[in-house]
Structure 1
Amino acid sequence: MDSFTSWFESRNGTLDSTSMTITEIPGHGRGAIALRDIPEGHTLFTIPRDLTLSTRTSALPSLLGNVEWKRFGLDVGWAGLILCMLWEEAQGPLSKWSGYISVLPSEFDTPMFWSLTELEELKGTAVVDKIGKDDAERDFYDKVIPTVQSRPELFPPKSKHLHYTLENYHLMGSRILSRSFTVSKWTDDLENVEPSGDASANGANGNVDNTGMEVDESPINGAEQEPDSMEESEDEHVEDIDDPSDVAMVPMADMLNARFESENAKLFYEQHNLKMITTKHVKAGEQIWNTYGDPPNSDLLRRYGHVDVVPLCAPLTGEGNPEDVVEVRADLVVSAASNASSEHLQERIDWWLENTDDDTFIIGTDCQLPEDLISFIRLLLQTDMEWEKTKKKSKLPKPSLDAEVFPVAIELLVKRLSEYPTTVQEDESLLNEPSKLTTRKRNAIVVRLGEKYILQGTMNELHKSREALRASEKDKNKRKSSHHSDATTTSKKARR
């Protein structure tokens, strides 16, 4: 890493080499280690804004021209940034970022690069549908290739098959997904710089969903960072970023690893610089961690190719990711509510979508049914008269659990569990023999098992709630019966 550090400092980056070093860390790849005890609030390194790599700082957009840039759709999603990275790489030592691009990872364990057999291990999870490989390849052929072919003076034909390939496009997209930040233009009221590394905005290797790092307000004129991997800026890489030009690669900052609730440094910004500053006291020999914002394992795997496993909190037991979630599709809810009247059912579904635009429900490790899911179940179970009142008031049903909702909710969880090809017991047995598992298979098992724990835990909580409701109703009826008996006795005494 000496050559990278030399490049970084030659480009006006500053590094406190007495406090930290970048080195290989077993099980974590490259990362930052504290060389001495570092106090909270200490600046580890500073990156000039013009050393970040984005569509704002690369020369390509201006060379191509704004009109052409937009004509080819490079102003939407990650395709523009990926093309800039491909072009900068093609410039070799002439590129301002040559010393940075040369040390970026060239292999990833993210599902984007898995075989079909490996992807089968993720069946039942929402990961596969979010990889965005098809969308990424569509952007490559519809945006990048036409751009490259239109300007041979910028993209020499001899370099086309060397640099502007689909393989390289996916590689650059994955680098953005796992390492980028959201770096907005400086304004007096700017407060945050966010990690951007995911995709869901239609561009890069998929879409962009903003999950990279985010930069928050600096204790000294700036903002702090929280990695987001731009999770969905482009489906595979960035999720809905307001301005794709905010997505940037940040040399040195992306060398720090992240782990659940371990963050001890964040990226802060000032008008002309970004600064990595410690947020806690860091002891000599400890790893310096940035943060991903603690996403679920499904997102960690999709964006970064790894998972986090720590002790879980009640009502769950064992180990997993406390931020794990399970996605439940609305069509599965409709299927579970099979006893609902079919008359006007589609009308109710359309009304729900118009009023909520919500066709997926999220259950977390608290194992509680979300209120919107309960409300949707109640809508499906309404009588025609109740449905007419709901339409007239244009108000969602109250999210209250009752005897009618319980069986539908439990059936829904059973159906959702059946979408995984393996059981909890089978997955646990597989994890007990780690020597027989590849890293990818082990990570896939951890993801799907975490989701199954949530579904089983939620089912257990529903059974408890239903029994509590039954006990309450039984007690209420008993009190009514007792009250009626007392009233009858009193009446007889009065007649005497």
Structure 2
Amino acid sequence: MMWEEANAGKWAAYLASLPSKFDTPMFWNEQDLAELKGTSVVEKLGKEDAERDYREKLLPVISSRKDLFPPHLIPFHYTLERYHIHGSRILSRSFCVEPAPSDASDEPSGTTQNHDDAMDVDVPSDSQSHPAATRVHDNDGDLSVDQDDEDEEEEDIVSMVPMADMLNARYGSENAKLFYGANELRMVTTKPIKAGEQIFNTYNDLPNAELLRRYGHVDYLSLPASLTQGSPNGSAALGNPGDVVELRADLVLTAANDRIYSTAAPPAQNVSAIAAESQRRIDWWLEMGGDDVFVLEPPSESLLPEDLVSLVRLLCDDDEWRKAQDKEKPPKAKKDKVVLEVTKQALLKRQALYEGSLEDDEALMNLSSDLPLNKKHATIVRAGEKRILRAILHQLELTIEALSQKGGMSNGEGSSRGKRKGMDDDDNGGKKARR
């Protein structure tokens, strides 16, 4: 795209019609980025990685081919600024299109419809040296390419699609979708649209954190009652129904260890042993393909992700740890009192990462209609995540209280880590029998 623009190629007029200014956090200053503290947006930007790729990969190639990249054009068309602009154009406007089968017709059909995340271009960094790369947190907290996503995305073609990329998006409003045959792409309406109504091509109803990171906007719509009960401000009724909260496994590990330390006998002399054992279990979890980030959705019947419950049981219950190794399979997602209490503490730690309270954010949105755009967007993202955490914590407290009163479900005391039995068992299923 940079070459096409520099050489006034076939697509230069199309590129000239695309925006050169973006409201995405990639272009925010440090003060504005600080407003996103606690969210996962900043750590997913990949700005430093992108700029390192520009310096170490792109510039050497450009410098080595003066026949393709005349030196006098480099300061104008191949700068870091243009690199970020074109990368952001791809991130915000491209489509992931599956290669059409050899016998595909040009007629639109459900089998040739593009992905649910039609405009999602999170491709591996090997294919595109830009923060659009699909990344996950490794167990050191750094960013790394997800190999499974890499294999999956290799089959897709990242495409800029003139005209189709003009359509806006809004939660729950999709009424058109991209279809393709062997020789053409078609944006086709999926439901009746009245004259004067807007055509929306939505990408999988993403949460505001992702909408802001990728596209520079947020959704601000009516929310379900489960997220607005007890809020003192009217603005609490607005947000993105698709919002989620990401919970890192290191916070779960800290919460689990805190509980184990408090129940160890005697506590002081077991700290290093408990930490080493916890790390061993986390390593096993990751080796078995377990996630290190858990996605928390607004409260539902299940309340907590099954893999999160499974990890807490693995960390806190010696019997479950032994069974997991024997079966080479993580524990079942059984929620007992210990699981709920440890998860509650992990969520409180997650909640503490934000600046200010939910009420502060809601009051700011309710009283200040002239907020700078970046601050407004950041506040909406923060508030949406805080609402989910508050709602889940409320449900957890009610469930823990009910279990305490009932006394019928196991609270894991008999086999939890740190107890004398769990730490000193012999080869008959005890600690010494672990691999």
- The verdict on a shared fold, with TM-score over 0.5 as the criterion, is yes
Alignment pair present for 1:277 and 2:188: yes
Residues 449-495 of structure 1: per-residue CA shift (max 9 Å, x gap): 1111111100111112123323433799xxxxxxxxxxxxxxxxxxx
Q: Among 84, 92, 95, which residue is 1:170 paired with?
A: 84
CA–CA distance in 1 between the matches of 2:352 and 2:409? 36
CA–CA distance in 2 between the matches of 1:474 and 1:144? 63
Unaligned runs of 5+ in 2: 105-110, 136-143, 229-236, 265-273, 411-435
CA–CA distance in 1 between the matches of 2:22 and 2:346? 36
* Structure index of larger Rg: 1
CA 1:408–1:171: 2 relative to 1, 3 Å: same
Counterpart in 2 of 1:330? 249
The Cα shift of 1:434 comes to 3.0
SS in 1 for 2:92: helix
TM-score (norm 2): 0.78
CA–CA distance in 2 between the matches of 1:266 and 1:196? 10
SS in 1 for 2:17: coil
State which drifts further: 333-342 or 102-111. 333-342
Alignment pair present for 1:266 and 2:189: no
Counterpart in 1 of 2:314? 379
CA 1:207–1:285: 2 relative to 1, 3 Å: closer
**Matched-pair contact (CA < 8 Å) for 1:257–1:290:** yes
Alignment pair present for 1:155 and 2:76: no
Q: Among 188, 197, 218, which residue is 1:286 paired with?
A: 197
Counterpart in 1 of 2:4? 88
CA–CA distance in 2 between the matches of 1:396 and 1:244? 31
Counterpart in 2 of 1:310? 221
- Structure having the higher strand fraction is 1
**Matched-pair contact (CA < 8 Å) for 2:246–2:295:** yes
CA–CA distance in 1 between the matches of 2:408 and 2:288? 37
Counterpart in 1 of 2:296? 363
SS in 1 for 2:406: helix
**Matched-pair contact (CA < 8 Å) for 1:413–1:455:** yes
Number of residues paired by the alignment? 363
Q: Among 111, 124, 132, which residue is 1:201 paired with?
A: 124
Residues 401-455 of structure 1: per-residue CA shift (max 9 Å, x gap): 2122222121111111000011111111111133341111111111111111111
TM-score (norm 1): 0.69
CA 1:158–1:391: 2 relative to 1, 3 Å: same
Alignment pair present for 1:296 and 2:207: yes
State which drifts further: 467-476 or 270-279. 467-476
Unaligned runs of 5+ in 1: 1-84, 211-233, 477-496
CA–CA distance in 1 between the matches of 2:131 and 2:122? 6
SS in 2 for 1:136: helix
Counterpart in 2 of 1:192? 113
CA–CA distance in 1 between the matches of 2:181 and 2:344? 52
Report 1 or 2 for greater relative contact order, CA contacts < 8 Å, sequence distance ≥ 6. Answer: 2
Counterpart in 1 of 2:285? 352
**Matched-pair contact (CA < 8 Å) for 1:180–1:197:** yes
SS in 2 for 1:260: coil
Alignment pair present for 1:134 and 2:19: no
CA–CA distance in 1 between the matches of 2:347 and 2:309? 13
Q: Among 462, 465, 473, which residue is 2:399 paired with?
A: 465
Counterpart in 2 of 1:242? 153
Residue 114 of structure 1 aligns to which amino acid in structure 2?
A: W
The Cα shift of 1:200 comes to 5.0
SS in 2 for 1:282: coil
